[in-house]
Amino acid sequence: MKESDFEKGLVILEKGGYINTEEIKIGIIPFDNTTNKKICPFCQSDNIGKRRESNALTEIVYSIMGVISPLFRKAYKCYDCYKVWKFIKQ
């Protein structure tokens, strides 16, 4: 595989919305026993999901190299406001 083919593939995947090569900032949200982890702390939406800190680009690189992907800590993502955060116990 040529380097140019790899770059072209990344461009195609990014244009199709399958990967995001931009840096994602992860917010740190303190929580206690009364915090509702099923709603977004920024927009109060319940349209959230869990995600790993690594992005698709990282996973592609690990796959190409034939390396088992390391385990990343889980973060949460809101599909309405597109914020990403982790909860930290107070």
pTM over 0.85: no
Domain ranges (residues) in the chain = 25-89
What's the pLDDT at 1?
59
Question: What single-letter DSSP state applies at residue 36?
Answer: -
What's the pLDDT at 55?
61
Instruction: Please give the C-alpha separations between residue 54 and each of 36, 47, 59, 71, 73, in angstroms, as whole numbers.
Output: 25, 21, 7, 9, 9
What's the pLDDT at 4?
76
Give CA angle at 80 (79, 81), nearest 5°.
105
Mean pLDDT of each 10-residue bin along the chain, 90 residues long: 77 75 76 89 92 66 66 76 85
